[in-house]
Structure formats: C-alpha cells, structure tokens
Structure 1
C-alpha cells in the first residue's frame, strides 16, 4: 500500500509534530511509499483530503489516507473524502488531546503501535459514520465520535480557549482539560427546550435539557464513556438526553457521567436508532468530534452510513 499522510503539527498542543518525526523515521526504515502534507489552518484538512481523493480516485485498492493529529483533524479529513465521493481507506495515528476515535475503534494510544496497526492491515474495515443535516442552516456533515448540543459543547468551547489545555496535553492528560471546565459550565449553562421525534412519529418534549449528545461509539472528552453500548460496527446512533433538575441530582448525573453509567440512570433518556430527529428552540453551543459549530438554533436529522477504515483493532486481537 501507498500512503498520503495528512499531519496537523499543532495537534496535542504541538505534540503531533514530534510524533510525526518519529513516525517518519520508521516509515523510511521500512521503505514505505508515502507523501506528506501538513495542515496550516482550521479546515485545511478538508481541502487536502479532497485534493488527495481526486488525485488517487482510481487507486482505492492500493492507496490509504493516513491522519496524524487529533479527532478534529480526522473529522476534517473524513468530511473532505466524503465530499469528494471518495472510497480511499482512512487510517489514523492518534496525536491529539482526546483521541476518542482511537479508543472506539481499538487503536493504541502509542503512535508507533498505532502505525504498526495500519501497516499490518490486509484489507479495509467498514465502520459506522454519523451524518447530520441541519434544516435551519441547510448544512450537512459527517462525524465519527459525537455530536453534542449544550453542556459538552460549552465545555469544548471553554477547553479550546483555555491555556490549561496546553499544559495538560504536555503531561498526556488531555481528558482532564475536558473535566476541568465542567464545573464552570455546570454553573453557567442554562437548560433549554428540546423536542425529539421517534421514527413512529411520537414526540418527546424535554423543557429543561442540559445534556444532549448523539454518539457513534462509547467515548467522549478523552475517554469518558457516554454511550457504553454503542459501537463503530453497528448501524445505530445513541442520543442521550438529560434534563437539569436540582443541584443534588445534577451532581449525581455528572458523577454517573464520569463513571460511564449516565445512560443507564433513571434521570436520563436514551434513543437508539439508525435515524434521529430533534429540534432545539434557543441558541446553544454545538460541537461535532470536538470541533465547534458555534451557538445556534438546530433542527437536526441524523442518520448513518459506512466508510472504509484501514487498521487492525486491538479489540479484535484481544478477542481472538
């Protein structure tokens, strides 16, 4: 196989640049054929992936697009490839803050091991990908991890603006950046109204929504289990809705969230389906795969598709 490698040198607060130097040495030792491009600005990976897709449009059987960066870089690359109607397999070397996709798929957090997982692959694996359409903005996109509105999106916004994130990334504690912002958001975040429509047409109204997260696999925020029953190999998404109640119940819900048990709490409502539709009635922060979507009203329809991924899974090896 030949590889087109997209590197985000700023991922993980600059840690990805050092990781790429180590990976490059290993690739050269093994005489792997590759070409590399680096991202220079937010959204650049979308454009780079589109160009690669067009250049190697007829080489899906022999060419892989590899990402060295964080979940955000992977998110952009996936969207660029799908935008170009590409079927080039996608590989990933985790070098960001959260690296949640790596956990969901079964990739090592050690970059050299993750590289070997890509090199060991013999064929692509089809994984589930979330797709959203916002009827208000007439906007669509794809996500690998989560699409969140409200609480988690506000945490992402504050964490991205925090200087503490860089310090924690240097110590490989990116998940604490997420957690460290939670209390501030908890105090300031106002509840909002959400309407969820099921496939049978039944409507559920949640007037005091606090947490609203659609997940494609278990992890969020650098390793917290938000949807422990979800999998990249299923054709469903899980929508978790939690309403704001008194402070005691709210803190209890956050404790359950940290322990990976919130979706089984009696204070949470879960919808699991291959198609979801929900509407918010106030301006709220939103995020997808840790990428900020801004503050907005949302009329979202979510469904799923599949995309080829290139890499062996540690979960499969453990099972075998």
Structure 2
C-alpha cells in the first residue's frame, strides 16, 4: 500500500523555538501514522511559499504547517484555490487559525489527527479571503493594531511578547482617530476610526476574539469598526477582546459583506500576523477556496469554535523564519 506524502512546512523560529523542538516528534507521529513526510526547510517566508507551491505541483496529499499563523499563511499561498488540503500543526506564539478550525493544541496530537483524517478522507472546504495577491485566513486589521505591529517590527529591543507591549505603549502615546473610506458590498461610508478589523475567523493576536461572529463557512466577512475612543477607554476596553464582548461597546460597529474596500492616508494592513500592504486595499471573501483536513469543530453560540491553545501575542514568529534540516 502506498504511503501518502505530506509536505511539512516548518517555521523553526515559531513559538520561540517550540516548532523546532517539536519537529522530530511530529515527523515520528506522521511516519507512525502511515504518512511519508517531506520536510520543507525554508529560511525565509518567500522560500517557504515557493517550496510549498512546488510541493503542491508535485501532487503531495496535503501541506502541513508546523508553526503558528505565519507558517499557516505561507502554506495558504500555495494551497488556496487548489484541491490540496491544508493541515495545521500548531506550535507558534499565535495559533489563531488552528483555534478557529478546532485543531488539537499539541502539534504531535495534531499530527496523529492529520494521519487519521487523511486515511479516512475527512476534509471540508472553508472560505478564505484575498487582498490583492495575498490569501489570508484569520483577520485583516488596519489602524491602531496595524500601527502597533509596524512599530513592533521596527523595534530591536526587547525580545518576545514584551516588544509588542512596548509598541502598544508607544502607539497609545500618539493615538488619534484616522479618516477611512470603508466600502462594504458597494455601500460607501466615511468614518473616523481607531481601528478596523475584517474577520474570516474570530481570533487574532494570539487569542483575541476581535470578530466574534466571523464564520469561515458562511461566505461573508465580518467587519468590526472601532470609532474614536480615548486612550483610557481603549485600554479599559481591550480586555473585552478576550471573549468578544467589545462588540457591545457604543464606539463599535459590526458590518458584514463579501467585498470590503478600505482607503485612507498613511495606513497599512496586516493579516494572519503578516504584512499585506498599504491602503487602498480591496478584500474579497472566496467561498470554499480552501480544503482543510478534519471534520468541522463543534459550534459555539452559533459560531465557529475551536480548541487549539495559544501562548500569547503573535509578535516574533512573523519576524524571522528558522531553518530546519530534514531529520
């Protein structure tokens, strides 16, 4: 019996080395489950995307991303719009797509689930979004949060999640509403905003439920617009992102649509914790464009839910790719 080949895209730097430490055990679990792993040992995001695309062209049975949302984002560029399934082996500082899809939090358990799903033929199609030439699966943001991420990437100290905390403080000091033209399915609105988040799934930033009603199986994107707020109010309200209750705040508007346009001076966008580009930008929800391994997770309060854990803010993983030799 032929053992199916699965390309394993490894971001060794993910989770401050957690992915690198898990690689041997993950490969062993895949092999024990009757799968031939092909390790894609990429040192950069560009190389990762190129290697994943080559593996898809070679006809691998699936592409598995070992890391966090950065690894998933790179793999997504190769598999979106194709019949090749994506599998997630969460080992990053932010595992938001894995959370949304109900993937086991432990990468070795996820690898065992991958082999069982592959042999049983369990897969489903979900929506993904496309902004320009980039596919993404979780949340696209612009405004305060994208400014924080831009700032964190420019900082050289401190390392790890504290860099994100410092970036928040620095951006809070210069907080001001920004003028944005928001277009939802042709309906144009001029807004003063603190931030705009466009969600295909609910979570971003390592477990923050910014778009609680987002469902990657409904053909729509959820647009969460936070209007002008004071520094004190933004800090006071931010903890409500953990459970999604911020959408009840009077400064928050929630919209839904298939095509979202954003325009505004001096603003950039990030999605899946990765840079997408400067405004203006148009984002389209592409229904069923991604095949993922596994059955649908249980729904929670009528929305997509998951069980994968996270380990804090998602800064660091996207800054660098580590190199792993096949072992």
What TM-score do the two structures reach when normalised by structure 2? 0.81
Distance across 1 between alignment mates of 2:216 and 2:291: 11
CA contact 1:100–1:222 (8 Å) conserved in 2: yes
Q: CA RMSD in A?
A: 2.5
- Unaligned 5+ runs, structure 2: 300-304, 307-327
1:35 equivalent to 2:35? Answer no
Correspondence 1:119 to 2:115: yes
Q: Secondary structure at the match of 2:194?
A: strand
Residue 300 (str. 1) matches residue 298 (str. 2): no
What does the per-residue CA deviation read over 1:247-296, in whole Å, with 9 as the maximum and x for residues that have no partner? 4433344243344212232211111122222322x1123211101235x3
Which residue, out of 221, 226, 236, partners 1:242?
A: 226
1:219 alignment partner, SS class: coil
Alignment counterpart, residue 150 of structure 2, candidates 124, 133, 157: 157
The aligned residue for residue 269 of structure 1 is 253
* Structure 2 partner of 1:283: 266
CA contact (8 A) 1:195 1:205 kept: yes
Distance 2:34 2:123 in 1: 22
Relative to structure 1, the CA distance from residue 219 to residue 177 in structure 2 (aligned partners, 3 Å threshold; closer, same or farther) is farther
Deviations 1:27-69 (A, max 9, x none): 333442222121111322210121112111xx6xxx1111111
Q: Give ranges in structure 1 of 5+ residues lacking alignment.
A: 134-139, 169-175
Correspondence for 1:45 among 36, 48, 51: 48
Number of residue pairs the alignment of both structures matches = 293
Are the structure 2 counterparts of residues 20 and 158 from structure 1 closer, same or farther at C-alpha, using a change threshold of 3 Å? farther
Task: Determine which structure has greater relative contact order: mean sequence separation of CA pairs < 8 Å that are 6+ residues apart, divided by chain length.
Answer: 2
CA pair 132-242 structure 1, distance change in 2 beyond 3 A: same
C-alpha distance in 2, partners of 1:189/1:272?
27
1:131-210 to 2 correspondence within 5 Å? Answer: 131-133=130-132, 140-160=133-153, 161=155, 163-166=157-160, 178=164, 181-199=167-185, 201-206=186-191, 208-210=192-194
Aligned counterparts of 2:33 and 2:157: Cα–Cα separation in 1: 38
Q: What residue number does 1:2 align with?
A: 5
User: TM-score scaled by structure 1?
Assistant: 0.82
User: Structure 1 residues 115 and 180 mapped into 2: Cα distance closer, same or farther (>3 Å)?
Assistant: farther
Tell me, yes or no, if the aligned pair for 2:73 and 2:136 is still in contact at 8 Å: yes
Superposition pairs for residues 216-227 of structure 1, below 5 Å? 216-227=200-211
Correspondence 1:101 to 2:60 = no
CA contact (8 A) 1:150 1:284 kept: yes
